[in-house]
Chains A and B, each alone.
Chain A
Amino acid sequence: MLFKKILVALDLTEIDDFLLRYVLFLVEKFKTEKVWFVHNIKRYDLPESIDDLLVEIGKPLEQLITEELQEKVGSVFSNSSVEPSVLVKYSDSTSHTLRNIAENLEVDTLVMGKKNALKGTGIQVGKILRSTKQSILLVPDCQVDDMTDLVVPIDFSEHSKNLLNIAQEIANTVTANLQPAHVYQLPRWFFPYIAEEKANISLLTAAEKSYQKLMASTNLEGLECVYLHGKDKGTAKTIQAYAVKQKSNLIVLGSKGKNRITGLQLGSVAEKFSQLDWHIPVLFVR
């Protein structure tokens, strides 16, 4: 089960407030056993003028940040059943630090903020997705209080089956609706001759069959899949648009998928997702 041991990456910006609130929500809903909050100080990014300030105050930076975070976390988690820990590290690579801590503490989920306003700054999500083994939850910089509607993009592979099982478990825990979604799209540049409409119909029929087959091999019942036509937008953008329209508040993605040829490999879709602007939390399940 996810969310039993959570590691939360904080970057000292406004997004930390949204993260703390969301993690508190997770802790309560999922009966989390332990949660760690970590900040990594990037040594080379600091100018010398900061040393002067530190001399004045008489404390090392590490201690200052720890105190600040303890205060912040403490105020949010004051009534929580879980005792949160604050870790402050010093290294040049945030992604390395996060990976090492996550492995040492045997956490199951890594929670990070995803900033929409400042594109491409902060923690490099793509890099962390590639280097860690834990599931990753990306929380946007806006308020998300609930987990009532889950969208799960699937490609009918073995991985999709596991993904649906995990998503169902989450949905049961928080009593949410679970919506499997499949994006079908003709890789048009390979087959310029096929009449598109006809091909789309047969793609859809094939998808429906694959879904029935997939369902037959699971214990999940009564789940209807929604089939979305990808047009030229690609899987990630299509799912995003659908989730926004449905007012979903969590997208559950697998980090692996079918082969590349169909253009539906969720691994690459996951990467695309981490680059998109969005306001819905995304969970990358391992």
Chain B
Amino acid sequence: MSNKTNKYFDIYPPVFYPSSIIIVLFIILTLVIGKPMEQVFSNLQSGITTNAGWLLVLVVNIFLALALYFSISKIGRIRLGGKDAEPEFSTFGWFSMLFSAGLGIGLLFYGVGEPMMHFSNSVINEAPGTAEAAKTAMKYTFLHYGLHAWAIYAVLGVALAFFAFNKGLPLTLRSVFYPLLGDKINGRIGDVIDIIAVVATLFGLATSLGLGVGQISAGLNYLFGTDDTAIFQVFLIAVITGAATVSVVLGLDKGVRVLSEFNMRLAIIFLVSMLILGPTVYLLDSFIQNVGLYFQNVIGLGVLTEVYEGTTWQHDWTIFYWAWWIAWSPFVAMFIARVSKGRTIREFFLGVMLVPSLLTFLWMSVFGGSGIFLELQQGINISDAVNENIATALFVMLEEYPYSVLTSFLGIVLVTSFFVTSSDSGSLVIDSITAGGKLDAPVGQRIFWAFTEGAVAATLLLGGGLKALQTASIVSGLPFAIILIVMCFSLVKGLHEEVEAMEKEEKAIERTSYQSIITDLINKRKEK
């Protein structure tokens, strides 16, 4: 690959230009066509969830099975980056980055909202508002944010890290197809794969940013009475983009890691305050029971397709999530691969799957549980407000507990900083792909992508079309899931070869040295 380089840019033209052009064209189309475009995607999405939901469920379960296999089998011994590689980041820094990049925003946005919505609406023919409904609500929330979700990221992440760090290929999506496509990954097919990754990542980030500022704006409106208008939200996007730019300019170690650690600390403070201010024992009780319930049912929940119930509840939730996580996976996986050099595959899976899942479970139990407690135990209705606007769910719930001004403020700061980390890690990822897999492209280019993301979000927010693009991202989840399954074959092949080579090498050294020792000894005795 030959890059075009100057002081500010170091780009790989076959990926950089087409991606930029597609992004601009797509935005113009969305703005010009407007509603009909949203309708097209929406139809496509419902077509997919109705007819191919089973496929997404299957694919996600395959990922989970593969993740378990990789961590338990001999493959777990492979170290990402080679035998002597050392981890680049401390374990806490590593966890923080994994967590912030992958789930940060979702936790704040849906932490109260999702359990409350399941609890207050009928889930697969179940009566809402009962103790049973509370269990169901937590079970499904855990399913959507638990092991399955992280398995998608982990499997793609390990593939990227393995081919980049152990096989010396560039850290871009095309590299994971090396065992199947061979040198063709350097040609047009490879370019197309990377362009898809860039476009999907940018739109995914921009739409979340655009939709997510709604939550910050709503929170500020509740706290300080600021205007909850589109213009104000664009201002917020500018602030977040500015902060992300600073972080991106500082680089992975000084910027992104520091900010992720700050986030993680703030999140822990927020979590602990809620635990103390809320019904502490109730929340701890619920955490234990929820986790138990989840693990007891994880297989059954994971393969549920509502076939006998004849309902379509899953379409808007489980299937939506699977498609959404898959659409996000190039970005998150690329990022977690980038920060996981020097870990063994076993460590990688434990780190990427178990720790974030358990933390998320605690989070959901505390925030969702505090909401459910209000309704179930205190008879205070908050679900109407949640059902009306899920973005304000967190603040509506906090209002019922002491020091709500303080906690809401903390919540807003946290949502904002989670956005910044998603935005900056996303920019680093796009930056790296459009530079042909280079890990440290020039600063000018990083700024360019951080700004583009903010600009796309702002444009769509003002001109309409955020929903359309988000739906488009989800629609891309299905074809991408199929590509990922192909990748799994490629990955399993590559990893098995690596393990065999590793064992062969160890055995061979031992064997040859022993053979020469014995031969020498026989020859020596012969002379006597």
Question: Could you list which residues of chain A lie within 8 angstroms of chain B, going by C-beta atoms?
Answer: 11-13, 42, 45-47, 49-50, 53-54, 56-57, 59, 61, 64-65, 67-68, 118, 120-122, 188-189, 192-193, 232
Contacts of A11 in B (CB 8 A): 517
Q: List 27 A-B pairs, Cβ < 8 Å.
A: A11-B517, A12-B518, A13-B513, A13-B517, A45-B514, A46-B515, A47-B515, A49-B519, A50-B522, A53-B523, A57-B525, A57-B526, A59-B525, A61-B522, A64-B521, A64-B522, A68-B525, A118-B509, A120-B506, A121-B506, A121-B513, A188-B90, A188-B92, A189-B90, A189-B91, A189-B92, A192-B92
Q: How far is the CB of A50 from chain B (nearest CB, A)?
A: 6
What are the nearest 3 A-B pairs in CB distance? A189-B92, A189-B91, A45-B511
Contact B521 A12 (CB under 8 A): yes
Interface residues of chain B: helix, strand, loop or mixed (majority):
helix
| Given A120-B506, A121-B509, A189-B95, A65-B268 contact (CB < 8 Å) | no
A contact residues around B514 at 8 Å (CB): 42, 45-46
A12 to B95, CA, bound (A): 47
- Most chain B CB within 10 A, of A50, A118, A189, A232, is at A189
Q: Which residues of B does A touch, CB under 8 Å?
A: 90-92, 95, 261, 264-265, 268, 506, 509-511, 513-515, 517-519, 521-526
Chain B residue with Cβ nearest A122: B510
CB distance from B78 to the nearest CB of A (A): 15
**What separation, in Å, do the CA atoms of A160 and B144 have in the docked complex?**
47
Do A192 and B264 touch across chains, with their CB atoms under 8 A apart?
A: yes
> Using Cβ atoms and an 8 Å threshold, which residues of chain B touch A59?
525
Task: Quote the shortest CB–CB distance from A256 to chain B (angstroms).
Answer: 24
Say which residue of B265, B509, B522 sits within 8 Å of A53 (CB atoms).
B522
Residue of A nearest to B517 (CB): A12
Say yes or no: B517 contacts A53, CB within 8 Å: no
Q: Which residues of A contact B525 (CB under 8 A)?
A: 57, 59, 64, 67-68
Report B93 CB to chain A, min CB distance, Å: 9
Can you name 9 extra interface pairs (CB under 8 A) apart from A121-B506, A121-B509, A189-B95? Answer: A46-B515, A53-B522, A57-B525, A61-B522, A120-B509, A188-B91, A192-B92, A192-B265, A192-B268
- Closest chain A CB from B86 CB (angstroms): 11
Residues in A whose Cβ lies below 8 Å from that of B523:
53
Cα A192 to Cα B510 in complex, Å, equals 44
> What's the nearest-Cβ distance from chain A to residue B351, in Å?
11
Cβ-defined contact, B519 with A53, below 8 A: yes
> For A120, what are the chain B residues with a Cβ–Cβ distance below 8 Å?
506, 509
**Within the complex, what minimum Cβ distance (angstroms) separates B381 from chain A?**
36
Q: Are A50 and B90 in contact (CB under 8 A)?
A: no
Contacts of A50 in B (CB 8 A): 515, 518-519, 522
Asked whether, in the complex, the Cβ of B515 is within 8 Å of the Cβ of A45, the reply is yes
Instruction: Return chain B residues, CB-CB under 8 Å to A65.
Output: 521
* Contacts A45-B511, A122-B510 given; does A61 touch B518 at CB 8 Å: yes
CA distance A64 to B526 in the complex (A): 9
In the complex formed, the residue of B with least CB distance to A50 is: B518
**Are A232 and B526 also in contact (CB < 8 A) when A46-B515, A50-B515 are?**
no
A64-B518 Cα distance, complex, nearest whole Å:
10
In Å, the complex CA distance between A46 and B518 comes to 8
User: Which chain A residues border B91 with CB–CB below 8 Å?
Assistant: 188-189
Residue of A nearest to B513 (CB): A121
Q: Chain A residues with Cβ under 8 A from B506's Cβ?
A: 120-121
A193–B92 CA distance with the chains assembled, in angstroms: 11
CB distance from A65 to the nearest CB of B (A): 7
Given A46-B518, A68-B521, A192-B268, does the pair A121, B90 have CB atoms closer than 8 Å? Answer: no
How many angstroms from the CA of A188 to the CA of B89 in the assembled complex?
13
* 8 Å CB contact of B268 from A54, A67, A122, A193: A193
Distance of B518 from chain A, by nearest CB (Å): 6
- B333 CB to closest chain A CB (Å) equals 23
Q: State whether A121 and B515 are in contact (beta carbons under 8 Å apart), knowing that A12-B521, A189-B91, A192-B265 are contacts in the complex.
A: no
* A93 CB → nearest B CB, Å: 13
Min CB distance A188 to B, Å, is: 6
Contacts of B264 on A, CB cut-off 8 Å? Answer: 192
A13–B520 Cα distance when bound, in Å, is: 11
A84 to B492, CA, bound (A): 52
CB distance from B398 to the nearest CB of A (A): 22
Give complex CA distance A49, B521 in Å. 14
CB distance from A195 to the nearest CB of B (A): 13
Least CB distance from B510 to A in Å reads 5
Instruction: Find chain B residues with CB under 8 A from A13 CB.
Output: 513, 517
Chain A residue with minimal CB distance to B269? A193
What's the nearest-Cβ distance from chain A to residue B355, in Å?
9
Measured CB to CB, the nearest residue on chain A to B355 is A189
Q: Tell whether A68 pairs with B524 under 8 Å between CB atoms, given A45-B510, A192-B92, A193-B268.
A: yes
Residues of B within 8 A of A56 (CB): 526
Chain A residue numbers with a CB within 8 Å of B92 are: 188-189, 192
Given the complex, which residues of B lie within 8 Å of A47, measured CB to CB? Answer: 515
Within 8 Å CB of B518, what residues of A?
12, 46, 50, 61
| Docked pose: A42 CA to B513 CA in angstroms | 12
How long is the Cα–Cα vector from A232 to B526 in the complex, in angstroms? 54
Instruction: Give the docked Cα–Cα distance between A121 and B522 (Å).
Output: 22
Whether B90 contacts A232 by the Cβ 8 Å rule is: yes
> Contacts A68-B525, A188-B90: A193 and B513 contacting too (C-beta < 8 A)?
no
Kindly state the separation between the CA atoms of A232 and B509 in the bound complex, as whole angstroms: 32
B434 to chain A, nearest CB (A): 34
Residues of B within 8 A of A49 (CB): 519
Nearest to A123 among chain B residues (CB) is B510
Are B522 and A57 interface neighbours, CB within 8 A?
Answer: yes
Chain B: CB-nearest residue to A14: B517
Write the chain A residue with the least CB distance to B525: A64
CA distance A122 to B526 in the complex (A): 26
Q: How far is the CA of A45 from the CA of B264 in the complex (A)?
A: 53
Q: How far is the CA of A189 from the CA of B264 in the complex (A)?
A: 12
Are the C-beta atoms of A121 and B510 separated by less than 8 Å? yes
Complex CA–CA separation, A57 to B90 (angstroms): 60
Once bound together, how far apart are the Cα atoms of A126 and B497, in whole Å?
25
Question: Roughly how many angstroms separate A232 CA and B89 CA in the complex, as a whole number?
Answer: 12
Tell me the nearest residue of chain A to B265, going by C-beta. A192
